[in-house]
Structure 1
Amino acid sequence: MPTKSAEEFLAALADELAISDTRYDQACRSYESLGDWLHRPESSVRQYDPQVYVQGSFRLGTAIRPTNEGEEYDVDSVCVLRELDTGDLSQSELKTLVGDEIKAYRRAKGIQKPVDEGNRCWVLTYADEAQFHMDIVPAIPNSAQQRVLLEARGFDTRWADSAIVITDRRLRNYEDVTVDWPRSNPKGYAEWFQERMGSIFEERRRMLAETTQASVEEIPTYRVRTPLQSAIMILKRHRDGMFEGRYDDRPISIIITTLAAHSYEGEAKVADALYAILSKMDDDDFIEDNGEIRIIRNPSDPLENFADKWPLHPEREEAFFEWLDQARHDFSQLAKQVERRQLVESVKPRIGIVASRAAERMDTPSSMLRPAAAAAGIGAAASSEPAFPNTRREPTSPKGFA
């Protein structure tokens, strides 16, 4: 188990990595403003009942500050036209329909930078001082078809109601009217992730409501941070530092987030959550092997493999295990430290200058920290270090999500 100093340092590190509430509020106002625009009387998509919502790390509460002050925040969002079906139009037509409205929104709001087109999304870049851009993915509902697909394979259908299909201009059938569209389910994934956080999420939300004399319903979910979210934030920053200059090889965030959420078992402290996650991330229940490829299933769509690029890019598979081994080593060293200088030096090669700022933050009274850190329940010191597997675990047969 980590020393008390290591526990305090990890809690402070999570606070140092956290995006401010102001940033979250700014992101919320931006996609809500776009949603209002799409519902205005003159909107060309109003009749299709558009809905805009955030996805990715901002929705999950695992976004971290950029490594330097000049980088932008990337806010991922979805624009679902809920009264359309795959038989009504092509991916190309949907993307153009949504894109025209986003371009009109940019002009009306006086946003200077032009709207860029990505393979799956439109990119709306705000003024430099705002320091963020929003990726908007056009989509339409896909719940009925998704349920049929999952039932046919014996998979869990709990998250099928929020399934969508999205556009991708790289596909051969991009211009065709067909039912074969790329699938996605960010809402379902977020619901699964919140379920994995367990009762501790609701407990901390209630604590925050009592502290601020507000109702629980008035507390946005992004204002609550659990040990699972904090651990993921720390692991993502460690990944970023380790793969600086090797961006294409680095383990993608959705793989880290999914394996961490699977490995989390309700630990109440950031340190306990982090070490439990590191010890189990490569468990063969989570990384399957069908005899040909490795599979990290999307819990909200078990037919999707988050590791589908590994066979084409085996260096990415190697990079994942390389990173996991390094993270286990670094945080194992951290767990034994007591002095602040040693705490910082044990992880600074991968974590960077933020490690020094976290050590300074340890002087801040807990009552002044974000509620998640103040509620971390820092315990007594322990002398033994975390026990991680000595060798890489080789996945066996798939377990499935049935």
Structure 2
Amino acid sequence: MTVTITKQAEAYLEALAKTLEIPPARYEQAERSYKSLGKWLHRDDSTVKNYGPDVFVQGSFRLGTVIKPESDGEEYDVDCACSLTKLTKSSLSQARLKELLGEEIKAYRESKGIQKEVHEGRRCWRLEYADGAQFHMDIVPCIPNAQAQRLLLESRNLDARFADTAIAITDNELPEFYEITEDWPRSNPRGYAKWFKSRMGDAFIRRRQQVLNEMRAEGVTASVEDIPTNRVRTPLQSAIMILKRHRDIMFADDPTDKPISIVISSLAAHAYEGEDTIGLALLSILSRMENAIEHDGAKYIIRNPTDALENFADKWEDHPERAQAFFRWLAQAREDFSSAGRLVEYRRMSSVLASRMGRDITDQASDAALQPTRLGSAGLLGKATAASGTAAPSVSFADEPRTPKKPDGFA
């Protein structure tokens, strides 16, 4: 089936993305929180100061794809990592690393008067802030793993471009958790963020310049380097935000099987080809989203672009219902957004998407679309739609599910 997107649908989807954005103050709050913890770990009587603690944000806050919680009762999940950069896998066990950091996080909680106890997760420590803060911080203990990661990937003739920022993390469900061993779980959030930024391509550069121009128009003296990444919102990021909310609503009663964000973000980033507008990016991504899924005859594989030995779909083999849930969600998203993309009346778009995105969100979007001066990226929208008149280029969705294949140039 062929789908065209009207300029009205473009405006509406841009407004929809805006309604999902979190206030800049939330980014600033998260940044203050993890920087405050970093200062605590570097204080004179810190038990880990000499191990070179490095605290950094990861996940959706780093990628700029955080969406507002569906209700005021839900919290923002701020994912961080703390690397003790002067330690190695040969000097301690995963358990000892987690214990070292846990003791300091608990002391930090007491020093700040945080009422809720620190909670231990499988791979992290959770710091629960006051109710009014509406967020918690998950801190993953880790140590550098660049050299081992590079050797591992190069020995398999795999892409090692992002190995320099690789880390080794802890997992208390693994049998070797208490042993001193070289066999630790691997991760690379900084490398992933670098890859994700590369997928945004020129759209990131253009949007960052636009933000700079807006700041200068308001009398703010700044350079491009002064602009925080979270102030830049590309069509790829906005499309992912819309897809995540669609996923959340569809699986509200089935949280176990709902597609995980890293799968959605990775497949969307692979599928993005520099489209200038949110609507065209969204529909184009949906039309190509299976292309980065492999199937080796026995299982599905969605490779981590910074570590081709890691499979983001590894749980699908033991839980085939999760693979089925993903493809069911993808088919539904294609149907919903292609239907909205053909419309020219904002209220009708809201009616089509209300049950999939939430009535409050869709009504806000239609109200904002009727007042285009309220949209933050009108320049990008105007550029894409001025020449099209009534419709942007067509994109096609297959009538039947495609068989995943090995993608070309995956990383």
Alignment correspondent of 1:355: 362
Structure 2 counterpart of 1:392:
401
Change in Cα spacing, 1:295 to 1:343, as seen in structure 2 (3 Å) is: same
Matched position secondary structure for 2:26: helix
Return the TM-score normalized by structure 2: 0.94
1:207-237: CA deviation from partner (whole Å, max 9, x where unpaired): 2112212211111000000000000000011
Matches within 5 A, 1:126-165: 126-165=129-168
Deviation at 1:349, TM superposition (A): 1.4
Task: Decide whether the 8 Å contact of 2:11 with 2:381 is kept in 1.
Answer: no
1:237 alignment counterpart? 245
Distance 1:347 1:119 in 2: 36
Cα contact 1:255–1:296 (8 A) shared by 2: yes
2:233 corresponding residue in structure 1: 225
Q: Is the Cα–Cα contact under 8 Å of residues 280 and 392 in structure 2 kept in the other structure?
A: no
- Which amino acid letter does the alignment assign opposite residue 225 of structure 2? E
> In structure 1, what residue type is equivalent to 2:79?
D
**Corresponding residue of 2:380:** 375
Shift of 1:348: 1.2
Count of matched residue positions in the alignment of Structure 1 and Structure 2: 398
Select which of 248, 265, 269 maps to 2:273. Answer: 265
The 3-state SS of whatever aligns with 2:177 is: coil
SS at match of 1:201: helix
Matches of 1:278 and 1:355, distance apart in 2: 20
- Give CA-to-partner distance per residue, 1:337-391, whole Å, 9 cap, x none: 111221011111111121111111113343x433x45533351322886421111
1:121 aligns with 2:127: no
Match of 2:24 in 1: 21
Structure 2 contact 346–369 (Cα < 8 Å) conserved: no
CA contact (8 A) 1:155 1:400 kept: no
Does residue 175 (structure 1) correspond to residue 184 (structure 2)? The answer is no
- Change in Cα spacing, 1:161 to 1:175, as seen in structure 2 (3 Å) is same
Sort the Cα spacing of 1:384 and 1:257 in 2 relative to 1 into closer, same or farther, 3 A.
closer
Deviation at 1:397, TM superposition (A): 4.6
**SS at structure 2 position matched to 1:79:** strand
Report what 2:300 is aligned to: 294
Does structure 1 residue 341 correspond to structure 2 residue 351? no
Structure 1: distance between partners of 2:191 and 2:321: 30
In 2 relative to 1, CA 398–212 (structure 1 residues): closer, same or farther, beyond 3 Å? closer
**Which amino acid is 1:4 matched to?**
K
Q: Check whether the contact 1:336–1:385 (CA below 8 A) recurs between aligned residues.
A: no
Is the CA contact 1:336–1:383 (under 8 Å) kept in the aligned structure 2? no
SS in 2 for 1:134: strand
- Equivalent AA in structure 2 for residue 340 of structure 1: Y
Rounded to whole Å, the distance in 2 between the matches of 1:219 and 1:175 is: 43
Following superposition, the deviation at residue 400 of structure 1 comes to 6.9
Residue 261 (structure 2) pairs with residue 256 (structure 1)? no
1:151-209 deviations in Å (ceiling 9; x for gaps): 01111111000000100100001110001000000000000000000012122112211
TM-align CA RMSD: 1.4
1:286-315 Cα distance to aligned partner (Å, 9 max, x none):
111112111000001111000000011000
Contact 1:8 1:362 in 2 (8 A): yes
Partner of 1:68: 71
Cα distance in 2 for residues equivalent to 1:373 and 1:174: 52
Q: Paired residue for 1:82?
A: 85
Q: Distance in 2 between matches of 1:210 and 1:383?
A: 27
**Paired residue type of 1:305:** N
Partners of 1:64 and 1:392 in 2: CA distance? 29
1:64-99 C-alpha deviation (Å, 9 max, x unpaired)? 001111100000000000000000100000000000
Q: Output the amino acid matched with 1:176.
A: E
Residues 1:255 and 1:315: Cα distance change in structure 2 (over 3 Å): same
Aligned partner letter, 1:238: H
Deviates more, 1:334-343 or 1:26-35: 334-343
Extract unaligned runs of 5+ from structure 1.
Answer: none
User: What letter matches 2:281 in structure 1?
Assistant: A
* Identity of matched residues, %: 56
TM-superposed deviation, 1:259: 0.4
- Other structure's SS at 2:246 match: helix
- Unaligned 5+ runs, structure 2: 217-221
**Greater mean alpha carbon deviation, residues 323-332 or residues 336-345:** 336-345
Over residues 255-305 of structure 1, what are the superposed CA-to-partner deviations in whole Å (9 max), with x where a residue is unaligned? Answer: 00000000000011001100110000012xx11111211100000111100
- Describe the SS at the equivalent of 1:327: helix
Match of 1:212 in 2: 215
Cα separation, 2, equivalents of 1:201 and 1:341 = 31
Does the residue aligned with 2:211 lie in a helix, a strand or coil? Answer: helix
CA distance in 1, matches of 2:234, 2:121: 33
Partner of residue 323, structure 1: 329
CA contact (8 A) 1:99 1:122 kept: yes
Task: Mark the CA change 1:397 to 1:226 in structure 2 (over 3 Å): closer, same or farther.
Answer: closer
Is 1:282 the counterpart of 2:290? The answer is yes
Contact 1:289–1:398, Cα closer than 8 Å, also in 2? no
Question: Closer, same or farther in 2 for the Cα pair 1:373/1:57, shift >3 Å?
Answer: farther
TM-score by length of 1: 0.96
Structure 1: how far apart are the matches of 2:101 and 2:378?
41
The verdict on how the C-alpha distance between 1:83 and 1:355 changes in structure 2, with shifts beyond 3 A counting, is same
AA aligned opposite 1:125? E
Is residue 155–residue 401 contact of structure 1 (8 Å, CA) maintained in 2? no
